[in-house]
Amino acid sequence: MPQKLLLAGAVALLPGAAAKLGAEVQLPVETISLPSGGPEAALALGLALRAQHPRGRVNFRKGEFAFTKDLSQVRGQLTRLAVAAAILLVLGLGFGMARLSSLHRQAAAYDEAVCTATKRILGACTTDYRQALGQLSGGRSRAAGVPRVSAADVLAELVARLPEGSMPLLEDVELTTTAIRVKGTAESYGKVEDIISALKKDKCFGEIKAPRTDQTPSKRISFAFDFAYTCSGETPGGA
C-alpha cells in the first residue's frame, strides 16, 4: 500500500488539489519538492533522468532480436519449404510422365487404325493421315469411289433447290450418292417447268430431261424424273 502521494506538474499548482485528493484516497498528499524549479518541471526532470539510465531498448545484438549470420532462426522454415517444393516437383513430373504416356498410347492406336484401313483398301500400310487421304481420293486408287457426301447431304441439296413459289408435293424420293429419282405433284405444268429450271442451276445435278407428266383426278400435275448426282466423288470401279 502507498504511504504518500506526491503531486507534480500542472495539477500541483491547482489550489486545494492536494487536500481534496488526500480526502478522496485517504492518504497524505503533498506537492513534490524539486532541487530546481517548481512542480511543473517534474516531467522534464523525469525525462532527463530516464535518458541518463536507459532501460527497455531493443537490442539487435543479444536476445530474441539478435541478428545471426547463419540464419538459424529461419533454417527450419527453409527446410519445410524445400521439402514442399520437392514434393510438388515430384508430383508434377509424375503427372507429366503419365500424360505423355497416355498421349503416346493414343497416337499408337490412331496409327494402327489408319494403317489397318489403308492396308485393307489400298493394299499398303500408311500411318500419315494426309498421305492416306491423298491416296484414297486419287482416281487410280481402288478407294477413289469412296463418296465425299452422304445421301442425307444429297437430299438436303435437292430440297434447298426446289423453288418456294412452286414447291411440289413429293410422294416418293429415291436417292443415292450417284442418282436421284423423284415423284410428286405440282399445281400446274408451269410449276413443273419452274422446278426443272431450278434444279438445272445446281452444278452437281446431271442432265435433267423432260419428266413424265400426267393430270390427277384432283387437277394436279404428277411428274417423275431421275438424274445423276455428280459431286459425291465416286467413280466407276471405285470401292
Q: How do residues 151-179 score in pLDDT, each as one tens digit? A: 888 888 888 888 888 888 888 989 888 88
Beta carbons within 10 angstroms of residue 72's beta carbon: 8
In whole angstroms, what is the distance from residue 15 CA to residue 121 CA?
A: 121
- Do 22 and 94 fall within a single domain? no
The pLDDT assigned to 238 comes to: 39
Would you say residue 72 lies in a domain? Answer: yes
| Sign of the C-alpha dihedral computed for residues 181, 185, 189 and 195 taken in this order | negative
- Do 112 and 130 fall within a single domain? yes
Domain that holds residue 91: 63-145
- Do 69 and 88 fall within a single domain? yes
Cβ-based neighbours of 174, under 8 Å, separated by 6 or more: 180, 181, 182
Phi and psi, residue 156, nearest 5°: -60, -40
- Do 135 and 197 fall within a single domain? no
Instruction: Name the domain boundary from 114, 145, 176.
Output: 145
Lowest mean pLDDT among 18-27, 86-95, 133-142: 133-142
| Average pLDDT of the residues in 230-238 | 59
In whole angstroms, what is the distance from residue 139 CA to residue 238 CA?
A: 9
Three cell numbers written together for 159: 430440297
Per DSSP, the three-state class of 223 is strand
| Average pLDDT of the residues in 202-227 | 89
Residue 87 pLDDT greater than 90, yes or no: yes
- Do 202 and 164 fall within a single domain? yes
The pLDDT assigned to 236 comes to: 40
- Do 137 and 184 fall within a single domain? no
Lowest mean pLDDT among 152-156, 195-199, 202-206, 234-238: 234-238
Would you say residue 58 lies in a domain? Answer: no
Would you say residue 237 lies in a domain? Answer: no
| Number of domains observed in the structure of the chain | 3
- Do 169 and 122 fall within a single domain? no
Quick one: how far is CA 128 from the chain centroid?
30
- Do 141 and 151 fall within a single domain? no
Would you say residue 236 lies in a domain? Answer: no
In whole angstroms, what is the distance from residue 79 CA to residue 90 CA?
A: 17
Three cell numbers written together for 98: 503419365
Q: What is the mean pLDDT of the chain?
A: 79
- Do 67 and 123 fall within a single domain? yes
In whole angstroms, what is the distance from residue 18 CA to residue 12 CA?
A: 7
Per DSSP, the three-state class of 231 is coil
pLDDT in tens, 35-58: 777 777 777 777 777 676 666 565
Q: What value does the CA radius of gyration of the chain take, rounded to a whole number of Å? A: 52
212 contacts 223 by C-beta, under 8 angstroms: yes
Would you say residue 136 lies in a domain? Answer: yes
H runs (alpha helix) in the chain:
17-25, 42-52, 75-122, 129-136, 151-161, 189-200
Would you say residue 156 lies in a domain? Answer: yes
Q: Which residue has the cell 519538492?
A: 33
- Partnered with residue 174 across adjacent β-strands are 181
Would you say residue 152 lies in a domain? Answer: yes
Instruction: Name the domain boundary from 125, 145, 165.
Output: 145
Cβ-based neighbours of 38, under 8 Å, separated by 6 or more: 12, 13
Q: What is the CATH number of the domain that holds 168?
A: 3.30.1360
Would you say residue 234 lies in a domain? Answer: no
Closest CA to 228 of 168, 163, 193, 181: 181
- Do 41 and 114 fall within a single domain? no
The pLDDT assigned to 223 comes to: 92
- Do 155 and 124 fall within a single domain? no
